[in-house]
Structure 1
């Protein structure tokens, strides 16, 4: 590389536009001596075509071209394709008026013919450096804009999160306090009334426990410390464990929970407790969005070396705009049929657990009122 051409990442690619072929060839010879790659065009139309294919760093354009076309006309066309490309105008008829027009047309440099070789190379190099800096600035600005948008989103999520946590922890706590006061103040409570109060306290406590566990899991995920203790397990045994837990829940909610499980064991390398959590989260989500007398089906099958689990409900369904975001932290789908419950972490945690098992997860729905289906895969052992 010549001392006149400081490092600019890579050597510039030059587009030469001149209606005199001999001048174009001369310029190409000069640039070739400095290892600059160049392409030559005789008119505006050819220059535009080469511009699209060659992606030049700098353009050298003669001011006077055939058919009354000026270098400014060419510069305008080229900048419509690449607004950052520096244009250097060459002319055998320099004047102050022409130089002023060049400035008005955002021309990088204006050189008189015959051009001094050293000055030409210096101008091209400086133009390429300027282009590199402009593009780097654009990248930095875009990166800063993206970072600011991310921070704004995180701040909004934080505010929403604090609001939800405050509300959702306060609600079961108020229930516990209320029923505890009833037990303390009422000396002549009947056994069934006392049992009802204790049951309500227990349910509220479990609710708080679930919220706190979700928060702790999300903290672990964000710090990269979510514990997944894998061993060889039978996935059907995991399903049966969840079945024993949730079948009574379905009955209490007046829903049908049906299981379609293979008769033979399905071995995989996984954390049985975490997979119980995955199934429980997805089926509980189906409970939340399925009305009384609705049906929830859990299907397990083998597909291309993976265990496929589908949780299909006859509930409210999911609008298309929610499907892509449904596994995001704190994201919740509210409809007129279901009130918001929880802090919007269950599905996000579920996705992280499935991913940690080298699986995939997704959701699909034909739309509101048409039910939904959540699915996930796990690699078979």
Structure 2
């Protein structure tokens, strides 16, 4: 819209300039024609004046000839030739004047009169040539006077018309024509000046009006665009430039507004992405801090483990070396003495073997990745073997292990060696942390979970030292031993690996293990493993 108005305004100025040029060209052409016509009229006037002067000179020559003054006959011929040439020029200029005036009716009579007069003058010249041919220079007498009168009459009258008045009339007419053409030329030049001044004034006024119009029309949209750009430069992306008009500025404002909206959208997404990144960094930082804390805890446990390993390995090796030294020291001793020493050495060696087994197990990168050879089997045999080992261990601590084998053949999918290791860990842990002359009860049964799936359940119950509420959540952590356990087993072989290994073996068999304990009252360990067959003997909510 605004581009169209600007194009129309500039086109109008161009047309006005072209019109001014055309008018000026026409006025200059008209003025040139008038000036040329005035020059032709001036030449005609000059021709008549020259004709008049030549005729007067010829008259003077005749006067001198008739009065007997010495004259040159060649001068007469020369003057007559000049008059003829002047008349020929006047004929040509009369035709040119008629052509320049065109078909203007007011001047047609003038041109016809001029041509008629020129015809008379031609005729007069011819008559004058004939009359002048007979003139011979003579002394003055009466006949000369008569001849002068006759010749004068020929000079002044032709075809009954007074040549002097004819020449005077033509001279006056040509003077009037010259004055008229000069006035027309002056008028044309004045018109040219007026037109040029008017056109220049009109163009200047039109240009000023257009400049004023476009200045007023451009001021508001340019101010709005400038204000909008400054707002966007300050970061005020919600600012919008008014776009209510139907012109190029409104379309540009719409594009700027769209750009501002897109930038604001990108900034919002950038802020969201930055917040998400900050949250992610915080989360990762928290995870790293947790990992660092875990590493610190692991390092502390590692140091404690090395201390425990040193203590656990030092105790049985010291016992073995001490018993051997005593047995070998001095004289020979009775066989019973040696047998007792060997039994004590065997016990210490068993204790050392248990420690070594725990260390080998701990050396594995992940107990969950232990290779299991799972196959359908009866759980009674591994359990019976584990109970017998626990009963042997219980003899050393005066702890009784009570177990009544069931007649049911419970079968499950598992690794017999790993199951025996699992049961042994639970039973040995119960025996070691029971009081002197205590009792450990082993109970096996078949239960069903909430979904009705059959589970084999094992309870290991002791009346030992128990576990405190603070230590109970950590009993399945590697290398963890509660304060009560350390105080109870100051010479024990536990490295805090029994229950963590038991939990991993349970998960490897798809089972579940949990511990319920009260300090000073004992501990109950419950183990559940999935059965292959599903006879339901009793139900539990767990």
Name the TM-score, length of structure 1 as normaliser. Answer: 0.67
Q: Work out whether 1:338 is the aligned partner of 2:464.
A: no
Q: Residues 300 and 288 from structure 1, CA distance in 2 versus in 1: closer, same or farther, beyond 3 angstroms? A: same
Residue 245 of structure 1 is matched in structure 2 by 389
Residue 291 of structure 2 is matched in structure 1 by 147
Deviation per CA, 1:201-238, whole angstroms, max 9, x where unpaired? 11111111111111212223527652322222211122
Residue 204 of structure 1 is matched in structure 2 by 348
2:419 is aligned, of 265, 272, 275, to 275
1:181 Cα shift? 1.4
Matches within 5 A, 1:1-381: 111=237, 113-114=239-240, 116-220=260-364, 222=366, 225-304=369-448, 305-335=454-484, 338-340=488-490, 341=492, 342-365=494-517, 367-381=518-532
Root-mean-square deviation over aligned CA pairs: 2.4
Counterparts of 2:269 and 2:398 in 1: how far apart (Å)? 77
1:252 Cα shift? 4.2
Local SS of the residue matching 2:290 = helix
Q: Residues 110 and 136 from structure 1, CA distance in 2 versus in 1: closer, same or farther, beyond 3 angstroms? A: farther
Q: Residues 228 and 218 from structure 1, CA distance in 2 versus in 1: closer, same or farther, beyond 3 angstroms? A: farther
CA contact (8 A) 1:328 1:348 kept: yes
1:313 Cα shift? 0.9
Deviation per CA, 1:359-381, whole angstroms, max 9, x where unpaired? 1111101x212211011111112
After the TM superposition, which segments of 4 or more aligned residues of structure 1 sit over 6 Å from their partners?
A: none
Counterparts of 2:294 and 2:283 in 1: how far apart (Å)? 16
CA contact (8 A) 1:325 1:331 kept: yes
Local SS of the residue matching 2:446 = strand
Q: Residues 247 and 122 from structure 1, CA distance in 2 versus in 1: closer, same or farther, beyond 3 angstroms? A: closer
Q: Residues 110 and 330 from structure 1, CA distance in 2 versus in 1: closer, same or farther, beyond 3 angstroms? A: farther
1:198 Cα shift? 0.9
Q: Residues 185 and 256 from structure 1, CA distance in 2 versus in 1: closer, same or farther, beyond 3 angstroms? A: closer
Counterparts of 2:386 and 2:489 in 1: how far apart (Å)? 25
Q: Residues 193 and 145 from structure 1, CA distance in 2 versus in 1: closer, same or farther, beyond 3 angstroms? A: same
Q: How many residues align?
A: 276
Deviation per CA, 1:267-293, whole angstroms, max 9, x where unpaired? 112222222222221111111221123
Q: Residues 198 and 186 from structure 1, CA distance in 2 versus in 1: closer, same or farther, beyond 3 angstroms? A: farther
Residue 17 of structure 1 is matched in structure 2 by none
Q: Residues 221 and 133 from structure 1, CA distance in 2 versus in 1: closer, same or farther, beyond 3 angstroms? A: closer
Bigger radius of gyration, 1 or 2? 2
CA contact (8 A) 2:467 2:484 kept: no
Counterparts of 1:251 and 1:136 in 2: how far apart (Å)? 58
Counterparts of 1:295 and 1:221 in 2: how far apart (Å)? 36
Deviation per CA, 1:177-215, whole angstroms, max 9, x where unpaired? 111212222332222221121111111111111111112
CA contact (8 A) 1:261 1:301 kept: no
1:358 Cα shift? 1.0
Q: Residues 257 and 223 from structure 1, CA distance in 2 versus in 1: closer, same or farther, beyond 3 angstroms? A: closer
Counterparts of 2:470 and 2:294 in 1: how far apart (Å)? 20
Counterparts of 2:511 and 2:270 in 1: how far apart (Å)? 52
CA contact (8 A) 1:214 1:349 kept: no
- Which region of structure 1 is more displaced relative to structure 2, 171-180 or 258-267? 258-267
Local SS of the residue matching 1:298 = strand
CA contact (8 A) 2:368 2:508 kept: no
Counterparts of 2:457 and 2:367 in 1: how far apart (Å)? 29
Name the TM-score, length of structure 2 as normaliser. Answer: 0.48
1:239 Cα shift? 2.1
